């Protein structure tokens, strides 16, 4: 049987999913041009002062250079924050789109024991678990930084509660799919000029999967 493995990455590389991202690219290019001009201007003014005033330093020239550097650093900070460090959870709701999907899990039959989820434990100082499961004939793999596994009587845990789920619908899924399903919430940046400044327009901002299994016996932990 053909198996598709999909690895979900929280932070991807910048792509061109919307023409609005051209705004951000243009601003970064202008900032680079400004940096080159600023260095050239500082050098030219210094040489002019040396030639015309026979001085290597003047306060007027110093404060002009400081002003140019401050402008550059402020714009650099703003562009860097918007592009690299923007917290999607703090953005206005009008800047993002949130969608939900719900699918039943497919049990993986094995000779020793059948299970819904296989857990791969990571190594290192901050080990991350990876969860593998099957949905609609495809194999998916997510990690514990953007997913969680719940089992038992409750279909919710502390990690999943940070997202706005329809709790009544999750209870309905428990009945419909015998407590074996996966719910995924995906946040996507809207295609507009504001998100384009940070090169985010049309890109996925966040993705979280809530994996529900009947009990712990349906989870295989690899050692």
Gap between the Cα atoms of 155 and 31, Å rounded: 49
pLDDT in tens, 135-165: 998 999 999 999 999 999 999 999 999 899 9
Q: How far is CA 205 from CA 22, 64, 78, in A?
A: 18, 40, 19
Number of neighbouring beta carbons within 10 Å of residue 127: 9
The pLDDT of residue 41 = 96
CA gap 107, 113 in Å, rounded: 10
- What's the confidence (pLDDT) of residue 28? 97
Q: What's the confidence (pLDDT) of residue 81? A: 93
Contacts of 121 (CB under 8 A, 6+ apart): 127, 129, 221, 222, 223
Mean pLDDT by 10 residues, the chain (223 residues): 35 60 96 97 93 89 96 96 86 88 92 86 84 93 95 94 94 96 96 92 94 94 81
Cα–Cα distance for residue pair 205/97, rounded to 1 Å: 9
């Amino acid at each position: 049987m053909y198996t598709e493995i999909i690895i979900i990455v929280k932070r991807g590389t910048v792509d061109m999913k919307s023409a609005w991202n051209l705004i951000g690219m243009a601003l970064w290019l202008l900032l680079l041009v400004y940096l080159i001009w600023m260095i050239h201007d500082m050098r030219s003014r210094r040489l002019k002062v040396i030639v015309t005033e026979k001085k290597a330093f003047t306060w007027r020239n110093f404060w002009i250079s400081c002003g140019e550097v401050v402008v550059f650093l402020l714009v650099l900070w703003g562009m860097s924050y918007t592009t690299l460090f923007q917290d999607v959870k703090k953005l206005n709701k009008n800047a993002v789109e949130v969608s939900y999907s719900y699918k039943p899990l497919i049990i993986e039959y094995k000779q020793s024991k059948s299970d819904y989820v296989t857990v791969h434990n990571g190594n290192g100082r901050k080990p991350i678990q990876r969860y593998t499961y099957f949905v609609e004939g495809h194999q998916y793999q997510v990690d514990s930084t953007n997913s969680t596994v719940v089992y038992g009587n409750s279909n919710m845990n502390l990690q999943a509660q940070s997202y706005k789920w329809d709790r009544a619908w999750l209870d309905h899924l428990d009945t419909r799919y015998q407590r074996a399903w996966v719910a995924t919430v995906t946040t996507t940046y809207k295609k507009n000029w504001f998100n384009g400044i940070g090169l985010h327009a049309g890109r996925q901002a966040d993705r979280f999967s809530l994996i529900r299994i009947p009990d712990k016996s349906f989870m295989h932990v690899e050692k």
